[in-house]
Amino acid sequence: MRQQDEHTRFNLKKSELVRVIVQALESLDYHQSAKLLENESGYDLHTSDISTFRNNVIQGNWEQVLSTIHVLNINDDEREAVRIRIFINHSMYDF
């Protein structure tokens, strides 16, 4: 069980700081370091649903992407949902 989210001396939540660092490591292609920090800290950058969705996008599993689009929680913004579905449909046929 994870401890209550502590604050750093800069008044940031520890979880937020870890997520920012993990995101920076990912953007610099330090994937192993990012994963190690996630594992060691217990804070994940993405939920498992979002990670699965992301991996399906990266691997081009477009049918899976379309069937799991609900994990993005965009149902309240119909225009954004339509844009994302259009992007996915274009991506399906660009390969």
pLDDT at 30: 95
Which residue range forms the structural domain that includes residue 27? Answer: 1-45
Alpha carbons 65 and 22: distance in angstroms, whole number:
24
Q: Tell me: do 41 and 61 sit in the same domain.
A: no
Q: What is the pLDDT of residue 18?
A: 92
Q: Give the DSSP letter of residue 50.
A: H
Q: Are 89 and 81 in contact (CB under 8 A)?
A: no
Q: Rounded distance, CA 64 to CA 24, Å?
A: 27
The whole-number mean pLDDT for each consecutive block of 10 residues of the chain, a chain of 95 residues, reads: 60 86 94 94 87 87 85 75 83 73
Within this chain, do residues 2 and 41 fall inside the same structural domain, yes or no?
yes
Same domain, 3 and 28: yes
Residues 40 and 3 placed together within one structural domain of the fold: yes
pLDDT at 33: 96
pLDDT of residue 36: 96
pTM above threshold 0.75: no
State the total domains in the chain: 2
- Residue 38 has a CB neighbour count (10 Å cut-off) of 19
24 lies in the same domain as 61: no
Write down the pLDDT at residue 8: 67
